Structure 1
Amino acid sequence: MKQRGRHRRRRRGRAVRAFLTGTALALTAAATMISASQATVTGDPGALKPLTAAADTDALRLTEDPVPRASLDRLAAEMGPPVGVGTVLGGADRVLRDSVDCTAAEREALPVSPTAARAYCWNTDDTQGWRPGAVTTSGDADDDGLWGAHRVVLSGWSRASGPTPDRGLARIALVDAGNLNRLTYSWALLAVPVDGGRDYRGLVSQVSGMVWYQNKLLVTTDDGDRAALYVYDMNRIHRATVAGEAIGRVPGGWSAHGARYVLPAVAVYRAAGGADAPHPAAVSLDRSTTPDTLVAGEWTLDGSDQGARLWRYALDRDPGRAGLLAPDASGQVRATQAYRTKLSGVRGVLAYHGAWYLTRDADDGEGDGDGPGTMWRQDTEGARAARCGAAESRACWSPGTESLSYAEASGEVWAQSGRTLFSLPLASIDRSAE
């Protein structure tokens, strides 16, 4: 269980390293500014359109399918007692590179404007062949920004190459962000119990959306696993006891495709809205609503005539259902609010105090798809894009951001693009879009 400590930690910065980091980020932004100013995005999407018709909102329904408790208990009995997040962080055996150690190509994944306040790069040796996806943090998990005494970032990845059986496998990195000058991490495979809890298989999905709320981790799914959301319990992290590429029960113990830990799913949310039901491709947490809500957006094709749908689900207030979505009297989960944006190709989605922050790749379909993306701040009254350069270009954002996570306690937005993980104040996004 989470230890509820609200420890105030003084951030220890090293002056020289901070100067070098700031210089590196500024130089990257300046270099990218040139290409950004050559590809000004046009086409204001205007205001969000509320969706209130039953036909629109019914399509967003979900049904909850919990994994039987007996299956989870059997798996735990076979694998051994679960370990806590603190134990995983305490044994973290990998280190993220600081921005000053990132390559020029890796720094090109950073936004031009507003610039990143912090940036780190993943190691090539353990991310080669894997595709980066969603980010969530302990700022989502608890309103004090900590999980117990730990500041944590979770980073989702999926297997992009290799033997066919391995493609699409999903895993997360648990990152110890307590010392922002040295981020360490360990890998955990996302799994699904099978055979009544006697074994598990790997989750097969691109991890484009992910929210850690209280003790639950909600992960969007597509590809091999076509449910809308898989749910994991952060209090049910198990050790893999056998190293190797296999997954599940093996001679001598349990294997997790090279990861040191395994998270077995505890529930699944399936789309119940029929043929028109969108699968949430991007999700994030909004703490500015009562109750807290999970916001979602569908992934539409770039240049599509149909803009993306955006919606939200209420999170359950029942202590016995911590971290789960709130069902109605019929047991279905219904959207409490829904909109349509004229923007297509939406990737990352964030909502806070009525504003929706939407990221898109590249340049709105007008160019060749290379270069910076765009960040829009949209609500029911209109839209503004983050801007940069003398030409007021809108092509200012990171080119490959699929996920946004806002830590309300610190005011930071976390995201990743390619092998680059970065954060910046939400206030800087607002200023850029003014």
Structure 2
Amino acid sequence: MKHRGRHRRRRRGAALRGVLAGTALALTAAATLISASQAQVAENPGALKPLTSPADTGPLRLQEHLVPAPTLDRLAAGMGRPVGVDAVLRSADRTLRGAAHCSSDERASLPVAPAPARGYCWDRADGPGEGWRPASVTTSGDADDDGVWGTHRVVLAGWTHPAGTGRPAGRSLARVAFVDADDPAHLAYRWVLLVVPARGGRDYRPLASGISGMVWYENKLLVTARTGSADALYVYDLDRVQRTTVDGPAIGRVPGGWSADGYRYVLPAVGSYRFASGRCAASGPPCPGALSLDRGTAPDSLVAAEWTEPGGDRHTRLWRYAFSTDPARAGLLATNAAGRVDAVEAYRTRATGVRGVLSYRKAGADHPSWYVGRLPGSRDGRGGMWRQDTAGADAARCGPDSSHRCWARDAGSLSYWQETGEVWSLSDRMLFALPLADLDRSLG
């Protein structure tokens, strides 16, 4: 069903660019200097090394598994008619505060160089003491090239709650903030819990995995899956948001209806992708980490980075998969007749601890640049932002000692909004945006 407003005029994008230009953040002094203890120079990750041999590209192959239609239909029949993104946004019950209303500690988590054009801290009810951690972001700029979904501009932010941190034993959770971004000065959001159908659609269970990467393309949301499952990616349909009917701590079917740990909405998975050669391992398939969308390829592609420990011995692989051009497979990856998905491009970088990845080709360039946001080896503060290609790497520098540790604290994923030319990302405390042109200038 076509409902994303592809033919809307583009004046709203120009207006937003004006807002970005006129609202650059004045960061506090604490966020403009890096202390001597944080000033160690990060190792240059060097040039990207292309991976072309079957031994290198074979472990990246995926196998598609779609949830049977009768399972999804049975769940919808039991829970009631699914709703879409608009219904979730209309019920937004929390607000993001502009940077001027955030604490100095929250603002100190933002990048030093380049400085964000604007930033937001989360509702106080979602503070760090709750055990939840933000890590991934995608927008309606990924979903559709006009940047609008239906009548709204939307940001989706993925959060993870590890097991054993205030949750019942053995239960980790993943949720997504649906953010109404129509007015850049007043952002509101509502939580949706990610779940997986169970018992043939008669029940559902929580997605027990960290969602360090997330991409919204067409009507599908693809998220990483790293723990408790053989799956590499889970797939969600944004037209299949379901309402719960019982406000309780249980997750799934309960006496009297459907519960989701107090959340009003759940989003059931409609499919997944598994590595064809088994679970991620040091000598085999990579553990998926960061994700992003690249609209500069033909067809559009899903960009991925391997999850590696900061400062470890295992260097990160970067690769991409093509999206399907079949209208009947909107938002799904391109597969062969056997449901296999092959990487169409792959590299190895000497970088470790990559938590954000973006691929973008400038006008006139022969090849795209790869932007990687990295955690520091000691995991005690700011990370670095590097731009790499097969010729070398450049980093932003800041502070009196020209440190490379200038990016966000506990850096999150990256998402490029093509219509406005801005990059969205997260720190451990804030959601922020900055023009890609500013990022390039800082790396120049």
Q: Structure 2 length normalisation: TM-score?
A: 0.91
Deviation of 1:163 after TM superposition, in Å, equals 3.0
The residue that corresponds to 2:277 in the other structure is 273
Aligned-residue sequence identity (percent) comes to: 61
Q: Is 1:311 the counterpart of 2:319 in the alignment?
A: yes
Deviation of 1:148 after TM superposition, in Å, equals 1.3
User: 1:116 is paired with a residue of what secondary structure?
Assistant: coil
CA RMSD of the aligned region, Å? 2.2
The residue that corresponds to 1:420 in the other structure is 430
The residue that corresponds to 2:365 in the other structure is none
Residues 383 and 406 of structure 2 are in contact (CA less than 8 Å); yes or no, is this contact kept in structure 1? yes
User: 2:332 is paired with a residue of what secondary structure?
Assistant: coil
Q: Is 1:189 the counterpart of 2:203 in the alignment?
A: no
Residues 382 and 411 of structure 2 are in contact (CA less than 8 Å); yes or no, is this contact kept in structure 1? no
The residue that corresponds to 2:384 in the other structure is 374
Instruction: Please list the CA deviations of residues 12-31 of structure 1 after superposition, one character each: whole Å capped at 9, or x if unmatched.
Output: 8999x998x74xx4333664
Residues 348 and 402 of structure 1 are in contact (CA less than 8 Å); yes or no, is this contact kept in structure 2? yes
The residue that corresponds to 2:234 in the other structure is 230
Detail structure 1 runs of 4+ shifted over 6 Å in the superposition.
12-15
Residues 210 and 218 of structure 1 are in contact (CA less than 8 Å); yes or no, is this contact kept in structure 2? yes
Residues 168 and 205 of structure 1 are in contact (CA less than 8 Å); yes or no, is this contact kept in structure 2? yes
Distance 1:329 1:131, change over 3 A: same
In 2, Cα distance between the equivalents of 1:289 and 1:361? Answer: 28
The residue that corresponds to 1:411 in the other structure is 421
Aligned pair partner of 2:347 in 339, 342, 347: 339
Deviation of 1:196 after TM superposition, in Å, equals 0.7
Distance 1:270 1:383, change over 3 A: same
The residue that corresponds to 1:133 in the other structure is 135
Deviation of 1:281 after TM superposition, in Å, equals 1.0
In 2, Cα distance between the equivalents of 1:56 and 1:360? Answer: 23
Deviation of 1:109 after TM superposition, in Å, equals 1.0
Residues 370 and 388 of structure 2 are in contact (CA less than 8 Å); yes or no, is this contact kept in structure 1? yes
Residues 203 and 225 of structure 1 are in contact (CA less than 8 Å); yes or no, is this contact kept in structure 2? no
Residues 30 and 108 of structure 2 are in contact (CA less than 8 Å); yes or no, is this contact kept in structure 1? no
Deviation of 1:267 after TM superposition, in Å, equals 0.3
The residue that corresponds to 1:87 in the other structure is 87
The residue that corresponds to 1:124 in the other structure is 124
Residues 187-226 of structure 1 aligned to structure 2 (within 5 Å): 187-226=191-230
Residues 156 and 207 of structure 1 are in contact (CA less than 8 Å); yes or no, is this contact kept in structure 2? yes
Q: Which runs of 5+ in 1 are unaligned?
A: none
User: 2:89 is paired with a residue of what secondary structure?
Assistant: helix
User: What is the one-letter code of the residue matched to 1:264?
Assistant: P
Residues 16 and 420 of structure 2 are in contact (CA less than 8 Å); yes or no, is this contact kept in structure 1? no
Q: Structure 1 length normalisation: TM-score?
A: 0.93
In 1, Cα distance between the equivalents of 2:240 and 2:75? Answer: 10
Residues 133 and 155 of structure 1 are in contact (CA less than 8 Å); yes or no, is this contact kept in structure 2? yes
Residues 21 and 117 of structure 2 are in contact (CA less than 8 Å); yes or no, is this contact kept in structure 1? no
Residues 11-90 of structure 1 aligned to structure 2 (within 5 Å): 11=15, 22=24, 25-28=25-28, 31-35=31-35, 39-90=39-90
Residues 284 and 349 of structure 1 are in contact (CA less than 8 Å); yes or no, is this contact kept in structure 2? yes
Deviation of 1:2 after TM superposition, in Å, equals 4.7
Residues 4 and 144 of structure 2 are in contact (CA less than 8 Å); yes or no, is this contact kept in structure 1? no
In 2, Cα distance between the equivalents of 1:316 and 1:11? Answer: 33
The residue that corresponds to 2:259 in the other structure is 255
The residue that corresponds to 2:146 in the other structure is 144
Q: Is 1:360 the counterpart of 2:364 in the alignment?
A: no
Distance 1:79 1:120, change over 3 A: same
User: What is the one-letter code of the residue matched to 1:348?
Assistant: G
Deviation of 1:246 after TM superposition, in Å, equals 1.2
User: 1:164 is paired with a residue of what secondary structure?
Assistant: coil
Instruction: Please list the CA deviations of residues 25-57 of structure 1 after superposition, one character each: whole Å capped at 9, or x if unmatched.
Output: 433366442427961414322210000010110
Instruction: Please list the CA deviations of residues 79-137 of structure 1 after superposition, one character each: whole Å capped at 9, or x if unmatched.
Output: 11111111111111111111111111111110001001111111232352212121010
In 2, Cα distance between the equivalents of 1:123 and 1:93? Answer: 10
User: What is the one-letter code of the residue matched to 1:307?
Assistant: H
In 2, Cα distance between the equivalents of 1:430 and 1:266? Answer: 37
Residues 247 and 255 of structure 1 are in contact (CA less than 8 Å); yes or no, is this contact kept in structure 2? yes
Residues 2 and 148 of structure 1 are in contact (CA less than 8 Å); yes or no, is this contact kept in structure 2? no
Paired residues in the alignment total: 426
The residue that corresponds to 1:395 in the other structure is 405
In 1, Cα distance between the equivalents of 2:52 and 2:349? Answer: 14
Residues 75 and 199 of structure 1 are in contact (CA less than 8 Å); yes or no, is this contact kept in structure 2? yes
In 1, Cα distance between the equivalents of 2:92 and 2:249? Answer: 20
Q: Which runs of 5+ in 2 are unaligned?
A: 362-367
Q: Is 1:300 the counterpart of 2:308 in the alignment?
A: yes
User: What is the one-letter code of the residue matched to 1:26?
Assistant: A
Deviation of 1:268 after TM superposition, in Å, equals 0.9
Which stretch has the larger CA shift, 147-156 or 392-401? 392-401
In 1, Cα distance between the equivalents of 2:84 and 2:2? Answer: 9
Deviation of 1:166 after TM superposition, in Å, equals 6.5
Distance 1:338 1:299, change over 3 A: same
Deviation of 1:11 after TM superposition, in Å, equals 4.5
User: 1:59 is paired with a residue of what secondary structure?
Assistant: helix
User: What is the one-letter code of the residue matched to 2:352?
Assistant: S
In 1, Cα distance between the equivalents of 2:64 and 2:172? Answer: 24
In 2, Cα distance between the equivalents of 1:67 and 1:42? Answer: 44
Deviation of 1:219 after TM superposition, in Å, equals 0.5
Deviation of 1:184 after TM superposition, in Å, equals 0.5
In 2, Cα distance between the equivalents of 1:300 and 1:29? Answer: 32
